[in-house]
Amino acid sequence: MSQYSSLVTRNGLTWLLIAQVLTILPLSFYLPWWVLGLWLGCALWRIQIYKMKFSYPKVLVKLLIVVIIAAGVFFSRGTIIGLDGGVALLIAAFSLKLIELKSKRDAVVTIYIGFLVIVASYLYTNSFNWVVYSLLPIITLLAALIGLNQTKFADDVLGTIKLACILLIQAIPLMLVLFFFFPRLEPLWSLPLPKGSQQKTGISNKMVAGEMSNLTQSSELVFRATFTNTTPIRNKLYWRALTLETYNGRAWSQAWDLSYRRQQAPPWQYNPSTDQRIDYQIVMQPTFQNWLIYLDTPQLLPAGVKRYADFHLERSKMIDSVYSYQLTSWPNAIREPDGLPRININKQLPLHTDPRARAFAEQLKNTYHGNTEQIVNALLKYFREQPYYYTLQTPDMGANSIDTFFFDIKRGFCEHYASATAFILRSADIPARVVLGYQGGEINSAGNFVQVHQFDAHAWVEYWQQGKGWITIDPTFQVAPNRIEQGLREALDAKDQQQLGNNILGYGSDSVFTKLRLAWDNFNNEWDIFIGTFNTDQQRGLLQKLVGTTKLVYLSIFLAIGFIIVSSVWLLILLKPWKKTNDPLLRYFQQFESILASQGIDRELGEGPVAFAQKAQQSLPDFAELIKSFINTFVAQRYAQQFTSSSSLPNILKRLRKMSHRQKWSFSK
């Protein structure tokens, strides 16, 4: 009879249920609530079947359940394909298999589905926390597999879990070889975005006054930046993401003309002998967008990344996982020094809006005779000297929002100041545009990197001047310099800080908790750099360091060498040639010694077999009969050549080993 035709053992079923809990639990954040209820119902049904109180479902009942589940996934996720729909169906299959589980074959199939679920979980995250946690369901699935197929472990919980851990440890060297040297191939297909991913992207390609302050409620990590040399001071860290050149009277957005926006970047120049150079590496968290974050102005772009007409960087593929890239920036570079007539798009404004702001701009233009620098300085001075206030609490500005903010309310967040500044400069016939990104960040001294969160989102302005190109200004700095030099919390009053609650971490704190958090962040940064973002480029970089070339043939060579080394070590450990003997009786006696040693009885140097057995009988009275039987049989066969039964010694050893395991289990309880 095949091993798969026998009934499922209690130990195997128990481990299978535990493995399902550990496997499904972390996915509960991404699944419809009823999928968890489905598993619970199937688990209870399975237990009642085991107790012979429930029967297995009929074919029509199973078909009806499958149809209901498919409909449920479709209506809750909008599709039954893609990441969300596919994982929900996979979990449903993982659960439903319980109620039709009749033989070991069914149980093994269920276990394999469990391994597939764990693999699917890595599509959501590959963080260190998840990698460590995923070892638990892997071990329990292995324990279920062992409990189903190893008779001697049918009632031995400790033995089952111990063997599962040993198998996992044995697999780790091979896993590392495959991770570093198996060729990184491009996927043959792509999955639709998980539901809700668009809501997690932080800043978008549109800025509406009053909406950007919502990001202050999020402490979600956006990226970490590690600098090769000295980390720039905080007020120089303007992390650019998007350039907004179109204004419709309410919102700023990227240029609507895609052909214009997709033009290659205009000329820019820098002086390598005098200008400051910044070398750094950024590790971005998934944004489900194509644009990158950087400091002005980057040189030597990563593979698959282009710089476009508004100087924003865009990757050919969406950033749907942790993404690492290196840049060299020249913050003093002159960008587009001769931009006419292309920069005329940055003078356009909607008709018949905000008349007071237009009149104010016209007044500045007339006062300073159209001198760009003097107009800009006068506007910034106006912000600095008038009673403007930096706050999260702003009312609806109405139709003429620029006028209402600039002349009446005089209270706003960074997008209000950036929007008003760009509008007034354009009204004064000065090309201007809004830049979206992040400002500052938390400097982690433990790892010499800066980590930026969603609450660091910021908007500023750049204007164009003939011969000097685009020049960056930040009107928020004129009103709330603490925002730029220290951080958001330090720039707000007590009422605004209360609104933030505990979402924003206090930068600069010297508490033990802060130091531990920074150390943990440093570890996660190293994990993301060396493991989480390990891709084709890094794999080739590893080859370059090892053999001085990036030819893929060397991957095969290292892969083969790794397999040979790992297999050789495994064989040595399993076969233990240094412990082997050609005498079968001596092998049996060595096993006898090993079992007694596990009970604390060691054979002394020069101690004979009979004396050793007598000592063991006195110390282990429960084992006395088996020890006596073994030693009498061994002496008779070894010294008197009396072979009454060729299998008697193995049988006695088997009984001794089983009793030893039970003794350990009873002691542990």
- Boundary of a domain, candidates 181, 211, 230: 181
Question: Which pair of tokens denotes residue 642?
Answer: 């009396």
Name the more confident of 568 and 372.
Answer: 372
In a domain, 169, yes or no: yes
Q: Say whether both 136 and 232 belong to one domain.
A: no
Q: Say whether both 444 and 506 belong to one domain.
A: yes
pLDDT at 2: 44
pLDDT at 223 exceeding the cut of 90: yes
pLDDT at 259: 67
Rounded Cα–Cα distance for residues 469 and 623 (Å): 91
In a domain, 419, yes or no: no
Residues 6+ apart with CB under 8 A from 314: 290, 291, 292, 305, 306, 308
Rounded Cα–Cα distance for residues 345 and 257 (Å): 10
> Between the CA of residue 70 and those of 28, 46, 67, what are the distances in Å?
18, 22, 5
Residue pair 78/195 in contact by the 8 Å Cβ criterion: yes
- Boundary of a domain, candidates 512, 541, 570: 512
In a domain, 68, yes or no: yes
Q: Say whether both 122 and 36 belong to one domain.
A: yes
Mean pLDDT of 561-584: 77
- With H, G, I as helix, E, B as strand and everything else as coil, classify residue 314: strand
Which of 84, 296, 456, 474 is an active site residue?
474
Owning domain of residue 286:
199-347+430-512
In a domain, 384, yes or no: no
**Sign of the torsion formed by the C-alpha atoms of 662, 667, 668 and 669:** positive
Q: How would residue 195 be classed by pLDDT, with cut points 50, 70 and 90?
A: low
What does the DSSP assignment read for 136-190? Answer: HHHHHHHHHHHHHH-GGGTT-HHHHHHHHHHHHHHHHHHHHHHHHHS--PPPSS-
Q: Say whether both 136 and 238 belong to one domain.
A: no
Side chain identity at 594, as an amino acid letter? S
Pairing of strands 389-390, 411-412: parallel
Q: Which of 9, 3, 6, 4 is nearest to 157 (CA)?
A: 9
pLDDT at 3: 42
Q: Say whether both 159 and 203 belong to one domain.
A: no
In a domain, 365, yes or no: no
pLDDT tens for 10-33 read 777 888 888 899 998 888 888 888
Which of 312, 416, 453, 458 is an active site residue?
458
Rounded Cα–Cα distance for residues 84 and 450 (Å): 33
- With H, G, I as helix, E, B as strand and everything else as coil, classify residue 272: coil
pLDDT at 493: 62
pLDDT at 160 exceeding the cut of 50: yes
Active site annotation includes 312: no
Q: Say whether both 237 and 285 belong to one domain.
A: yes
pLDDT at 125: 80
Q: Say whether both 270 and 219 belong to one domain.
A: yes
pLDDT at 198: 43
- Boundary of a domain, candidates 181, 216, 247: 181
Q: pTM to 2 decimals?
A: 0.71
Residue pair 292/327 in contact by the 8 Å Cβ criterion: no
Q: Which of 570, 544, 560, 547 is nearest to 182 (CA)?
A: 560
In a domain, 532, yes or no: no
Question: Which pair of tokens denotes residue 12?
Answer: 């195997």
Q: Which of 151, 43, 170 is nearest to 96 (CA)?
A: 43
Q: Say whether both 213 and 332 belong to one domain.
A: yes
Q: Say whether both 171 and 210 belong to one domain.
A: no
Mean pLDDT of 325-346: 85
Name the more confident of 40 and 516.
Answer: 40
Determine phi and psi for 649, rounding to 5 degrees.
-65, -45
pLDDT tens for 593-603 read 888 888 888 88
Provide the domain count of the chain: 3
pLDDT at 10: 75
Q: Say whether both 177 and 233 belong to one domain.
A: no
Active site annotation includes 458: yes
- With H, G, I as helix, E, B as strand and everything else as coil, classify residue 508: coil
Active site annotation includes 352: no
Q: How would residue 373 be classed by pLDDT, with cut points 50, 70 and 90?
A: very high
Q: Say whether both 94 and 172 belong to one domain.
A: yes
Question: Which pair of tokens denotes residue 346?
Answer: 């940055």
In a domain, 488, yes or no: yes
pLDDT at 655: 87
pLDDT at 406 exceeding the cut of 90: yes
- With H, G, I as helix, E, B as strand and everything else as coil, classify residue 242: strand
pLDDT tens for 470-525 read 999 999 999 998 888 777 767 676 666 655 545 555 555 566 777 777 777 888 88
pLDDT at 1: 38
> How many Cα atoms sit within 13 Å of 312 on the Cβ side?
24
Q: Say whether both 19 and 163 belong to one domain.
A: yes
Q: How would residue 449 be classed by pLDDT, with cut points 50, 70 and 90?
A: confident
Which of 414, 416, 456, 521 is an active site residue?
414
pLDDT at 317: 86
